[in-house]
Amino acid sequence: AQSVTQLGSHVSVSEGALVLLRCNYSSSVPPYLFWYVQYPNQGLQLLLKYTTGATLVKGINGFEAEFKKSETSFHLTKPSAHMSDAAEYFCAVRVPYGNNRLAFGKGNQVVVIP
């Protein structure tokens, strides 16, 4: 079964500092991986995705993630946090042969400290 692990439910980062959110997955086949962001009282919005090809993926709002097969990881980073980055972030893996179903991690609530 596919699963996603996100450690640390709450992450505090100072404005201007590096944002690093860790995601590890298990998958029986080459994975398709996603990061979604949820702003308060809103639905989920795609930040970026990895399917095939280049392992460093750039997304919206200055975020990027790197797929590392040997580490089964897909960590999300942003060099400099902005107050508007305060949100909840979810890592997800596509379930193989699962009709595009996604398995989600438990999420990271990011707080940006001025």
Q: Which of 90, 111, 8 is nearest to 43 (CA)?
A: 90
* C-alpha–C-alpha distance, residues 18 and 34, integer Å: 20
How many residues comprise the chain? Answer: 114
Q: At 4, which helix (H) or strand (E)?
A: strand 3-5
Binding string, residues 3-22; x marks residues near other proteins by CB under 8 A = -x-x--x-------------
* C-alpha–C-alpha distance, residues 67 and 56, integer Å: 6
Measured from the CB of residue 74, what is the shortest distance to other proteins in angstroms?
14
55 binds other proteins (CB under 8 A): no
CB contact at 8 A, 77 and 19: yes
31 binds other proteins (CB under 8 A): no
User: Is the CB of 5 or the CB of 77 nearer to other proteins?
Assistant: 5
80 binds other proteins (CB under 8 A): no
Note the residues at the interface with other proteins (CB under 8 A).
4, 6, 9, 32, 34, 36, 41-46, 49, 51, 90, 94, 99-102, 104-107
